[in-house]
Amino acid sequence: MIEGLSHITFIVRDLERMTTILTEVLGAREIYASGAETFSLTPEKFFDVGGVWVAVMQGEPLPSRSYNHVAFKIADDDFEACAARISALGLEMRPPRPRVEGEGRSIYFYDDDNHMFELHTGTLEQRLARYTEGRAEAAE
């Protein structure tokens, strides 16, 4: 049986640029860098991002962008500061999708290798409660 999420891996052209993005935007802590020793397919680094193991490996970037993304939870009070850090690194932010009131706010941004990230203030429980409330309102 599945016990939980093990790790997330991103393939990137520039390990140092991705290190900057992960540490400065997501508050990641670098825990391993392969350097000249490559135990995997290519040079790699491991990070802890809010208790999630994130691996980055050197390689060719994604050929195009999509809505596939990884979302990290942030506090609503940190929303503006996170947006400012993303802007300071020159990363492209995508306009937020339309939302119903009460499901949280999101910042969507792309790294240099076409990966999309989301920083989201809400929780699954809040979203489901809001959707249930919306159905009740629509039925009236």
Question: Which residues are known catalytic residues?
Answer: 44
DSSP structural state of residue 135: H
β-partners of residue 73 are 120
Q: Which DSSP helix (H) or strand (E) runs through 46? A: strand 44-49
**Residue 44 phi, psi (nearest 5):** -150, 165
* Residue labelled with tokens 């499901």: 103
Burial 3-12 (b: 16+ CB within 10 A, else e): eeeeeeebbb
Closest by Cα among 55, 69, 77 to 118:
69
- E strands in the chain: 7-12, 29-33, 44-49, 52-58, 69-73, 93-94, 106-110, 116-120
